[in-house]
Structure formats: structure tokens, C-alpha cells
Amino acid sequence: MLIANRYKSLNTSGRGGMGEVLLCKDIHLERQVVLKYLQPGVEARRLLDEQKSLAKLRSKHVVQLYDVVDVQIYGIQYPAIVLEFIDGETLKAGGFSPNQEYLNVIWQISCGLTDIHSGGIIHRDIKPENIKIDSEGVVKILDFGLSRNNTNAETRSIIGTPIFMAPELWGDQTIAFDSTIDVYAFGVTCLALLTPNAPPSLRDRPPNQPSIGEFSALFAGIPGEISGVVYSCLSANSADRPTMREIQDLLAKQLLKNKHRATVVLNGVVHTLDSKNRKIALNANVGSLTIEYDGLDFNVTSVSGDVYINNTSATSGRVVPGCCVLTFGNGGNRNFVTFDVSNPEVMP
């Protein structure tokens, strides 16, 4: 079967939450694609919502929309969207241990959700079954059939996957919601990837935040700062949940632990700070400064004389920015040096 004079069906089909999918070959570009159309009886709005959302998004961690076509199935014509084919595995509950691989996966999920929210979209159905890892290890978020624009989003019915639904979605009146419901679902997803047996409190209707002890036991070996921010995702009060950008930045920081390198050239001498050389002392006669690297940040540990970081007085305990100017002295007797940090990228 040839669809829209371009997509050749490979006779492989499947079913998503509300849509039927066909694996096809794009004969123009010689690549596999996924063609998705709605199951009979499903609101046409679902496909339109997915189309609108994906058309606005460009993210390494979100499935791409390629085309919009009509498909003839058993003599009936259906609107359909053509999506990127992701050759990989769907995430599974209990499929991970609390280690670096796990941190990398949830960091990639946070990157995708950050991009989704930056585009003004609420996904509304974040869960392992809607996330895949491709053959190169890149995480992709799928299935935007329940997505909404972040402006004046509301619903009159309880819809979604129960255990991943935030407490505020369980009301019996018209419910207004925002991107924090995705943050809640992200927190549950982080738990689900570690265990198929969620804490019983999350199965209540509406759900309750588990005890910190019950929660933390599942994150043994994960830095407390990370388990703490994931725990806050499950807050009953949506205002207490972090943003996905905050989560993304925190996870990236931990994944890059001990991988940074800072360089300062003072009086012709090159000073390097990294995991092998964690402390440098800079002395410019008119002032001195000691900086230490703790694996995450470069911190001022002592100051003497007039020393400034980007024109602000240096103080003990201050974090030195990634790239900045250090000034020793004031008035006409000043010495300027740059503090340069290489910024490794979290991969993939």
C-alpha cells in the first residue's frame, strides 16, 4: 500500500494509547517512518493536538513530526501524522538501578520536558511507556495526544494514566492545570524506572506524597541533592514542585562531577584546577585569592587584600563563575586575569 504517493506500508502495525500506527518507508528519502492515525471513536482533536504540539517543538529528545497526510484503511479515510521512526527500546518499570546510567536517562527526560515546556506545551502523559531510547542511547519523548497549550489549560474529566496523575487532576469540577503536572509525572517516572512497585500512597485517589524514608530507600547510592529534588516533584502543592529547567541543571551538574577544568594565567604562570589539582593560590602582591574545586563548583576559600570577581568584591565561600575576570588591587594599581572553565557536555 502506497500512502500519499510517498509512504510505502511495511505491513507492520501497532496500537498506541489512542492511535493506530503503521511502520512505513518514505520512498523519497529512503528512511523508515511511523504513520499514526486515530482508533475509531477517538476524538479527532487528539490527533490535531498532537500535530500542533509537535509542529512547535524542535528538540533532540522529542519525536519529530515529518508530515500530515490522509490514509485509506478498509475503505475509510483517516487523517494521519507521519513521525520519526525511533529504532530502540521503550523504557520499562524497574528497568534501571540507581547508577550513572539511570541519572543520564532521567537527565535526558528532563531535557526533553524542559524543551516541551519552553515551547508552551504541557505533555500530560509522561510515563515510561511514552519514552524510548534509540540505538545511539538518545532518549525520545513520544505520544502528544493529550498535550495542551500552557495557556489557560483546563479539563472537565479525569484523563491520563492514574498513578502518573498529579493530585490536582482528581477533582470533580473543571480543573485548571499547568506544566507542574508534567513535573509530578516526571517524579513518578523516576520512581517507576527503579521499581515496578510504587509506594502505596501514590495509588491513593488522589495520591499522597510517600514518606521521605520510604522514598529515599529506593534511591540508595544516588546523591541526596538529586533524590531530594525528585521527592519535591511529588509535592501535593504544585507551587512546591521545581521547574524542569532546575531539575535538568542539577542533574547535569552531578553528571559532570569532577570533569571540569579551570585555567588562570597570573604573572606568566599557568594555574590549573581540576580533579587532580583541586586547589590554587593566586598572589598578585596587591591581593591574594585561594580557589578550590569540590567536583561541582569552584569556590573561594580565602581572600586577602582587594580582590574582585567581575567587579564585585570576592568573599570566602563564593562560587567563581565559569568564565569571569579576576581583578587584584584598585585604583591605578590593578592586575586583571581571566578565569576560564572548560564546559564538558553531558552525552548523549
Handedness of CA 308, 313, 315, 319 (dihedral sign): negative
Residues 240 and 237: their CA atoms lie apart, in Å, by 6
Task: Reply yes or no on whether the pLDDT at 213 is more than 80.
Answer: yes
The pLDDT value given to residue 17? 54
Residues 9 and 32: their CA atoms lie apart, in Å, by 10
**And the C-alpha cell for 140?**
525520545
The residues, ordered by sequence, that sit 6+ positions from 115 with a Cβ below 8 Å of its Cβ are 57, 58, 59, 61, 62
**And the C-alpha cell for 258?**
569532577
Please state whether beta strands 31-38 and 7-15 pair in parallel, antiparallel, or not at all (unpaired): unpaired
Task: Reply yes or no on whether the pLDDT at 20 is more than 90.
Answer: no
pLDDT-derived band at 40 (thresholds 50, 70, 90) equals low
Q: What is the DSSP string of 46-112?
A: HHHHHHHHHHH---TTBPPEEEEEEEEETTEEEEEEEEE---EEE--TT---SSHHHHHHHHHHHHH
State what percent of residues in the chain have pLDDT above 70: 95
Q: Reduce the secondary structure of 43-62 to three states and give it as a string.
A: CHHHHHHHHHHHHHCCCCCE
Name the residue with higher pLDDT: 11 or 335.
Answer: 335
The CA-atom distances, in angstroms, between 338 and each of 5, 73, 138, 270, 322 are: 59, 65, 36, 11, 10
Tell me the chain's radius of gyration from C-alpha atoms: 25
The CA-atom distances, in angstroms, between 311 and each of 262, 291, 334 are: 20, 17, 12
Q: What is the mean pLDDT of residues 57-63?
A: 95
Q: What is the mean pLDDT of residues 180-202?
A: 96
Residue 324 · residue 338 · CB < 8 Å: yes
Residues, the chain: 348
Domains delineated in the chain: 2-84 (3.30.200.20), 88-255 (1.10.510.10), 261-342 (no CATH)
Residue 71 · residue 101 · CB < 8 Å: no
Cis peptide, bond prior to residue 206, ω within 30 of zero: yes
Please state whether beta strands 65-73 and 76-84 pair in parallel, antiparallel, or not at all (unpaired): antiparallel
The pLDDT value given to residue 78? 85
Residues 227 and 244: their CA atoms lie apart, in Å, by 15
Phi, psi of 130, rounded to the nearest 5 degrees: -105, 20
The pLDDT value given to residue 276? 96
Residue 128 · residue 193 · CB < 8 Å: yes
Residues 125 and 147: their CA atoms lie apart, in Å, by 8
pLDDT-derived band at 42 (thresholds 50, 70, 90) equals low
The pLDDT value given to residue 153? 74
Query: Any idea which of 142-156, 161-175, 200-214, 269-283 has the lowest mean pLDDT?
Result: 142-156
Residues 114 and 247: their CA atoms lie apart, in Å, by 9
Strand locations in 124-203 (E): 131-134, 139-141, 148-149, 154-155, 175-176
